[in-house]
């Protein structure tokens, strides 16, 4: 998935449909498998993206770990088992990930240019990713054979 992310992010030249699937997957893994497995997954994804990209080493590792920490902290305030909580946590994770990437790129590269179009596309992407999170959570639950009650706010032990 990491290798295909760059290909799938803009297959038709429509930047505003950039779905951050790895953030959704990280949030689902946090809900389904806990903190340790998700932290290892996030760090591994960051390392893989750093290795296969020609960019600044450590940039994507920091981004993936920041997504993990936003999900960790966000899950203390919002219920990740509830679709509303999934939308909020995933949206905030993508927002802070994009903001962190922009700030780090600005610090380490003076050639970065920001436009209103880019910011609007980023906001649209954040919204699309957040709103699609419950759909992916349902799909992943279906593929794992988990009952639909898990998304209604019950704990995994009760279902």
**Mean pLDDT value of segment 79-107:** 90
pTM of the model: 0.79
For residue 132, the model assigns a pLDDT of 92
Rg (CA), the chain: 16
H helices of the chain, in order, are 2-8, 21-33, 35-52, 59-77, 83-108, 116-144
Give the pLDDT band (50/70/90) at residue 7: very low
Average pLDDT, the chain: 81
């Amino acid at each position: 998935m990491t290798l295909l992310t760059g290909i799938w992010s803009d297959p038709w030249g429509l930047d505003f449909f950039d779905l951050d699937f790895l953030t959704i997957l990280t949030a689902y893994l946090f809900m389904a498998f806990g903190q340790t497995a998700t932290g290892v997954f996030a760090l591994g994804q960051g390392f893989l993206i750093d290795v296969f990209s020609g960019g600044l080493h450590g940039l994507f590792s920091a981004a993936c770990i920041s997504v993990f920490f936003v999900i960790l902290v966000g899950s203390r305030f919002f219920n990740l088992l509830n679709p509303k909580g999934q939308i909020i946590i995933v949206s905030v994770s993508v927002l802070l990930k994009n903001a962190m990437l922009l700030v780090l790129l600005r610090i380490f590269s003076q050639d970065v240019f920001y436009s209103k179009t880019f910011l609007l596309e980023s906001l649209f992407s954040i919204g699309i990713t957040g709103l699609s999170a419950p759909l992916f959570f349902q799909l992943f639950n279906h593929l794992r054979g988990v009952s639909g009650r898990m998304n209604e706010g019950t704990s995994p032990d009760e279902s």
